A = this chain, B = another copy of it.
Amino acid sequence: MKIGLDVLGGDYAPDSTINGAIEAQKVLQEGQRLVLIGDQQDTIERLKHAGADPDKFDYIHAPENISMHEHPTKAITQKPNSSIAKGFELLKNGEIDSFASAGNTGAMLVGAVFSVKAIPGVLRPAIATNVPKIKSGYGILLDVGANADCKPEMLSQFATLGSLYMQYIYGVETPKVGLLNIGEEEEKGNNLTISTYPLLQQNKKINFIGNTEGRDLFTDAADVYVCDGFTGNVVLKLAESFYVVTLKKGMKDDFFDRFNYERYGGSPILGVNAPVIIGHGISTPEAIKNMVLLSKDMIESQIIDKIRSAFN
C-alpha cells in the first residue's frame, strides 16, 4: 500500500506536513508506505532534522507548489511539476493508492476529476465533511462545495456515496440518510429538494428517513445529510465559525472538540476512481497524521470498489 501525501500543501507546509507524516508513519504497519510528494532533498533534510529516518518513506520529486489563490484548472495544467499535479499523475498510473493534500481545494477537485476521473455512472463527485453529533461520534454532510448547483439525480447519488462512506469507513451498518431541507413534510422545500425527495424514496441503495432541517444536523436524526454544494458550504463554514467562537471563549466540551478537523484529518472527494482527501488549509501535524490514516482506511476498506459496484 502506497499512501500519497502532498508535502507542499497547506498554510503551514512543509513543517506541518512533514511532522504529520512522521507521526503517521509511526503507526503505519509493514507494507504501508508513505509517499512524500514535494521537494525531495528539502524533505529528506527536514526529516533528518526532526530525527526521523528518511528510509522509512518513499519520495517523488515535485518542487513546485500550487498556492491557495491560484486558479485551479490553470495551475494544474501549467504546473506539471507541482506536488498536486504530480500526485494525481501518480494516482492515475497506480503508483500510489491514495492522494491527500491540505493545499488548494479547487486544484484537488479539478485534479481528481481530470486524472482518475469520476466512477462510471457517477454524475458528479462530491466533497463530504464530518459533522459531530451532540451525543457522540460523527455524521457526514455532502456536498460541501464541489457542486454549487445541483440536480435532483446528483443529490440522490450523493446519498448513495455518503451511505457507502458511513458504512465502510465508520462501520455504520445501515446509515440513515436525511435530505437537508426547510420543513419536515414531504411537500416542503425548494424546487431542488422537492424533486429530490421521491428519488431518495426510490433509491434502494440507501435508508432514507425523510427531510431534516438545519436544527437536526448535530443530532442522531441522520448519519448522512444530503444537500447541494452551496448550502453545504455555507453550513460548513458557519459551523466552523461557531467552533472558533467556543475556542476563543475557552469553552471546553467534547461535542465542540469533535468539530476540530484535526481529529478526522480531512474531507474525501467521493465518486472518483481513487481515494482522494482534501485537508483543511490550516492543517496541523495532527490533522496531517489523521489525513494519512484516513487515506489508509479508505484503501483498506476498498471503498472505491464498493462505490463502483453500487454504480455498476
Contacts and interface: CB of A to CB of B under 8 A. Distances in A.
Contact of A149 (B190, B230, B242): B190
A275 interface: no
Contacts of A214: 233-241
A191 interface: yes
A9 to B, nearest CB: 19
B253 A241 contact: no
Given A249-B253, A251-B251, A217 B241 contact: yes
Binding site secondary structure of chain A: helix
A215 interface: yes
A180 interface: yes
Nearest to A244: B215
Stoichiometry (number of copies): 2
Given A214-B234, A231-B230, A231-B234, A191 B241 contact: no
Q: What 10 A-B pairs are tightest by C-beta distance, nearest first?
A: A214-B237, A214-B238, A148-B190, A215-B241, A182-B233, A214-B234, A215-B237, A190-B230, A149-B190, A213-B237
Contacts of A216: 241
A145 interface: yes
- On chain A, which size bracket covers the interface? 35 or more
A69 B239 CA distance: 30
Contacts of A230: 182, 189-190, 193, 231
A148 B241 contact: no
A208 interface: no
A245 interface: yes
A190 B190 CA distance: 15
A196 to B, nearest CB: 12
Best-surrounded residue of A215, A249, A253, A255 (most CB of chain B within 10 A): A215
A134 interface: yes
